[in-house]
Chain A
Amino acid sequence: AQTVTQSQPEMSVQEAETVTLSCTYDTSESDYYLFWYKQPPSRQMILVIRQEAYKQQNATENRFSVNFQKAAKSFSLKISDSQLGDAAMYFCAYRSGWYSGGGADGLTFGKGTHLIIQP
Chain B
Amino acid sequence: DAGVIQSPRHEVTEMGQEVTLRCKLISGHNSLFWYRQTMMRGLELLIYFNNNVPIDDSGMPEDRFSAKMPNASFSTLKIQPSEPRDSAVYFCASSLTGNQPQHFGDGTRLSIL
Cβ–Cβ contact B42 & A104, under 8 A: no
Partner of A109, one of B43, B48, B49: B43
- Chain B proximity of A30: nearest CB distance (Å): 15
Q: How far is it, in angstroms, between the C-alpha of A103 and the C-alpha of B28 when the chains are bound?
A: 12
B-binding segment of A14-22, A42-50, A70-78, A80-88: A42-50
Cβ–Cβ contact A33 & B30, under 8 A: no
By a CB distance below 8 angstroms, the chain A residues around B97 are: 103-104
What's the tally of chain B residues with a CB closer than 8 Å to chain A? 31
Q: Which of A104, A106, A107 has the most CB of B within 10 A?
A: A104
By a CB distance below 8 angstroms, the chain B residues around A107 are: 33, 35, 43, 45, 102
**B113 contacts the other chain (CB 8 A):** no
Instruction: List A45-64 residues whose CB lies under 8 Å from chain B.
Output: 45, 47, 50, 52
Cβ–Cβ contact B51 & A103, under 8 A: yes
> B84-103: contact bitstring with A at CB < 8 Å (1 yes, 0 no)?
00000101010101111111
Q: How far is it, in angstroms, between the C-alpha of A35 and the C-alpha of B59 when the chains are bound?
A: 21
Cβ–Cβ contact B91 & A102, under 8 A: no
Q: How far is it, in angstroms, between the C-alpha of A42 and the C-alpha of B50 when the chains are bound?
A: 29
Cβ–Cβ contact B42 & A109, under 8 A: yes
Q: Which of B43, B44, B99 has the most CB of A within 10 A?
A: B43
Cβ–Cβ contact A111 & B42, under 8 A: yes
Chain B residues close to A by CB (< 8 Å): 30-31, 33, 35, 42-45, 48-51, 53, 55-56, 59, 89, 91, 93, 95, 97-104, 106-107, 109
